[in-house]
Amino acid sequence: MSSIAKFSASSVAIAAGLGLSVGAAVTFLLGRKLNAMNKPKVWGKPPHPNWEPPQQLAIPDHIEESKMVALDPKVIGGKKCYPLIISAVVPRPVAFVSTVSKDGKQNLAPFSYFTAMHDPPCVILCICRAGHRGGGKKDTMENIDDTKEFTVNVLSEWFLEQANHTCGNYDPEVDEMALSGLTKLPSLKVKPPRVKESAVHMECKLKHKYETKGYDGEDTATVVVGEIVMFHVNEGVARKTPSGSTYVGLDELQPISRLGGNTYGRSRECFDLARPDRDWQKR
Ligand SMILES: Cc1cc2nc3c(=O)[nH]c(=O)nc-3n(C[C@H](O)[C@H](O)[C@H](O)COP(=O)(O)O)c2cc1C
């Protein structure tokens, strides 16, 4: 039986049960079905929906039956910690960062040592030195140092291959936005353009930076804190909280995260888990 036929049959059965007219039942059930279709597709159940504190949860055999290994980073060596860090600190969001050099050359690259805060709204990036430039700065860092401005564009599935293509070791004069077929949008408060294909853009000004040195004393990276001076949110992903604040719909955004190696991830099955109230026992 087709799903429409099943749906009509169940409508008639329920209508009879409730003593409603078939028309009223169809309208009611159609409304419910449409409502369900509008709900995010990504929502699933938490891993242990019936868990109650302080119940112990089962640890999988491959963990329970193996022992912990202590790894001293000074023994491993700073550079060799790279595969461990990028595979263990996952998933990471990806900042797609647009900058302009002091003589006007445009640059775009992805960065997943990336996080954020909200008052004042800031982004935090870690831009490593470039191995292929003998430890010199990447173009993004050179440009932020020179102009104190950048934009962060949120990565979504629909333009991922284009975004990934921008991360090659290109020379400073290469415009990665043009190279990857992405489209520039002018910003309102900073010179670097935004990426039209992205649904959420943040115009940023350099607020703080912190230079790091490796175990050998060489410069290894810069931690950049950028204050967000303007947000741009595509209406196609924008939603409102009950009190009217704008937020971004996960289903519409289709965000892509960075995992270990060259692996990316989708946020396809998510679930809500309420924060415990201090009075959780009185629930
Ligand atoms: C998904 C992804 C995440 C990346 N994250 C970082 C990062 O957090 N820090 C970094 O220094 N390089 C990171 N890279 C590498 C830079 O994108 C790459 O070195 C790029 O060429 C820098 O460009 P630029 O010299 O034009 O600034 C990442 C690359 C990819 C594909």
**Mutation test residue for ligand 1: of 111, 126, 152, the one with most atoms within 8 Å of CB:** 111
* DSSP structure string for the chain: --HHHHHHHHHHHHHHHHT--HHHHHHHHHHHHHHHHHS-S-B---S-TT--TTPPPPPPHHHHTS------HHHH-TGGGHHHHHHHS-SB--EEEEEE-TTS-EEEEEE-SEEEEETTEEEEEEEEPBGGGTTB--HHHHHHHHH-EEEEEE-BGGGHHHHHHTTS---TT--HHHHTT--EE--SSSSSPEETTSSEEEEEEEEEEEEEE-TTS-EEEEEEEEEEEEEEE-TTTEEE-TTS-EEE-HHHH-BEEE-STT-EEE--SB---PPPPTTGGG-
* Residue-range domain boundaries for the chain: 3-38, 91-266
- Closest ligand 1 atom to Cα of 221: 11
> What would the pLDDT profile of 19-49 be if each residue is shown by its tens digit?
445 555 554 454 444 444 455 578 899 999 9
Please name the fold of domain 91-266.
Pnp Oxidase; Chain A (2.30.110)
Q: Answer yes or no: is the C-beta of 126 below 6 A from any ligand 1 atom.
A: yes
Reported confidence tier of residue 277, pLDDT bands at 50, 70, 90? confident
> What would the pLDDT profile of 147-184 be if each residue is shown by its tens digit?
999 999 999 999 999 999 999 999 999 999 999 999 99
Q: Answer yes or no: is the C-beta of 258 below 6 A from any ligand 1 atom.
A: yes
